[in-house]
Amino acid sequence: MLNKIMLIGNVGRDPQGKHITNGTAVTKFTLAVTRRFKTSDGETREEAEWFTIIAWNHLAEICNQYLKKGKKVYIEGRLTQRKYTDREGFPRIAIEVIANDIEMLSPKEQATDKQADEESDADVEALLAELERQEE
């Protein structure tokens, strides 16, 4: 069986990270994936699909540190369904993407302080490689 999704889009809001009771890091954010198409009238239109992305452990910490609203990212992961009851008591199903890999596609911003000057894309790649080794 295969459950794999690959998305390229823009972060919809700054990631919301926390540590759950056992100390595991988890980060949640939304991703807007836009597609362009032509109507039967020849008019070009845009349509956005919104996805809820969940990242765990070290990947969650990376997302929380480096992702910001509007940044373009590539996300690879799997779809999952979560059942819950809303405030009115109705059963609902949330479909979410559990991220396995994230690549930052937006250009690096200008550094605003010394710490930001020292950060580089190589640092991010090294962190992602370390995460992959930990998952194996």
**How many domains does one find in the chain?**
1
**CB distance 45 to 69 below 8 Å:** no
Domain membership of residue 67 as a residue range: 5-106
Domain presence at residue 9: yes
Phi, psi of 49, rounded to the nearest 5 degrees: -105, 135
76-99 pLDDT per residue, tens: 999 999 999 999 999 999 999 999
Residue 52 lies in a domain: yes
- Alpha carbons 58 and 38: distance in angstroms, whole number: 41
Split at pLDDT 50, 70, 90, the class of 117 is very low
Decide if 39 is inside a domain.
yes
pLDDT tens-digit readout, 38-67: 989 989 999 999 999 999 999 999 999 999
The answer to whether residue 58 is domain-embedded is yes
